[in-house]
Amino acid sequence: MSHIVAIAGSTAEQSKSTDLLKRILAQVEAYGFSTQLLSVRDIPAQELIYGAGKDSPHLNHVTGQIERAAGVIVASPVYKASYSGALKAFLDLLPQKSLAEKIVLPIMTAGSSKHLLAIDYALKPVLTALGATHVLNGFFVSDDLIQRDPYGLLSLDDEAEARLREQVRALVFAAGLPAPQKDYEPTEY
């Protein structure tokens, strides 16, 4: 499995956390992975709120992508000291252990660094509830460290960029390790 998916948890049309994910996926692709960006906006509000049936093409697309992925990046803005409500509604639609055996990278953007720990006390527990056992440290960045150029392209200050690249490397190396074959016998020397 050399596929990595990203889940964007912001409902904003022009979203810092989603644009950050797009940059991360470009970095991941440079390591040879195929990628897919998923978003809470991919699922109609009606299905997010009232539930999506098993025949929902939107939900089937999302679950199919997650199933074939070795790694899942989950990004959310901090809203009211936690991850977004839309992300919770999205995650609630997924099968119980959807993140089992996936390498998971949590990402959060926020108005200020005061809510730095939201990634640990809010986002990581729900990822664990979805079966994730390999959750990376994650990446948190406040808005003042994010810039947009006149064309709308997003960049980070140097320190934040270095932290992000370290997490991306951790993701791709963990996701890229080949699974041992069932009948594998170690060579004896």
Ligand X SMILES: Cc1cc2nc3c(=O)[nH]c(=O)nc-3n(C[C@H](O)[C@H](O)[C@H](O)COP(=O)(O)O)c2cc1C
Residue ranges in contact with ligand X by CB under 6 A: 10, 12, 15-18, 77-81, 109-112, 114-115, 143
Least Å distance, CB 2 to ligand X, is: 27
The nearer residue to ligand X, 118 or 175, going by C-beta atoms, is: 118
The nearer residue to ligand X, 62 or 86, going by C-beta atoms, is: 86
The nearer residue to ligand X, 17 or 35, going by C-beta atoms, is: 17
Contact 71, 102 (CB under 8 A): yes
Least Å distance, CB 108 to ligand X, is: 8
Least Å distance, CB 18 to ligand X, is: 6
Least Å distance, CB 91 to ligand X, is: 16
Least Å distance, CB 75 to ligand X, is: 8
Least Å distance, CB 60 to ligand X, is: 26
The nearer residue to ligand X, 3 or 41, going by C-beta atoms, is: 41
The nearer residue to ligand X, 75 or 104, going by C-beta atoms, is: 75
Q: How far is CA 84 from the centre of its chain?
A: 13
The nearer residue to ligand X, 145 or 170, going by C-beta atoms, is: 145
Contact 90, 8 (CB under 8 A): no
Separation of alpha carbons 122 and 17, rounded Å: 16
For every residue of the chain, which 3-state class applies, written as one string? CCEEEEEECCCCCCCHHHHHHHHHHHHHHHCCCEEEEEEHHHCCHHHHHHCCCCCCHHHHHHHHHHHCCCEEEEEEECECCECCHHHHHHHHHCCCCCCCCCEEEEEEEECCHHHCCHHHHHHHHHHHHCCCCEECCCEEEEHHHEEECCCCCEEECHHHHHHHHHHHHHHHHHHHCCCCCCCCCCCCC
